Amino acid sequence: MVTLTAEQAGPETVVVRVGKALDFRNAADFKGLCQQQLDLGVNQFVLDFSDTGILDSTGLGAIFSVYRQVSPHGGRVAFASVSRPVQVVVQLTRTYKVFPQYATVNDATHPLA
């Protein structure tokens, strides 16, 4: 499976490229990657779903876990470049109520531009 990657996009912002899937097989890796970023002071997570064909409930649960850690401190988790399969999951689970969505990573990292 393609390795998840994180790229700094600001002092407190990181873009996590999810890759082909975020599911029960790599949800722990995702949480570990995000925890590393949290330990560095990141509280704005932009999840790049541009190549993502699978987001399952375990992957979604991992995202909830990150959200729980940043939200009480003014942080956020945003979805960018959401693929059609991920959009179906977002609609089915109503998680658009919690995670703002942006057409591109750039829009997500520069929302006021």
Partner 1 sequence: MERARYQFADLETLPDQLFACLNEWMQAGNGLAEPLLAAQVALYEWMANLVQHACFGNRTPLVALELEVTGQGVRCVVEDNSDGFDLPAQLAQRRTALRPMPERGMGLLLLHATAMDIRYDSTGPHQHRLSFHIPVQPPPAGLDLTADAEGHA
Residues near partner 1 (CB under 8 A) are 21, 23-25, 53-54, 56-58, 60-62, 64-65, 67-68, 84-85, 88-89, 91-95, 97-98
Q: Least distance (Å) from partner 1 to the CB of residue 53?
A: 6
Distance from C-alpha of 37 to C-alpha of 65, rounded to nearest angstrom: 14
Instruction: Give whichever of 11 and 74 is closer to partner 1, judged by the CB atom.
Output: 74
In the complex with partner 1, which residue's Cβ is closer, 9 or 22? 22
Rounded distance, CA 25 to CA 96, Å?
Answer: 24
Distance of closest approach, residue 112 Cβ to partner 1, in angstroms:
26
d(CA 95, CA 113): 25
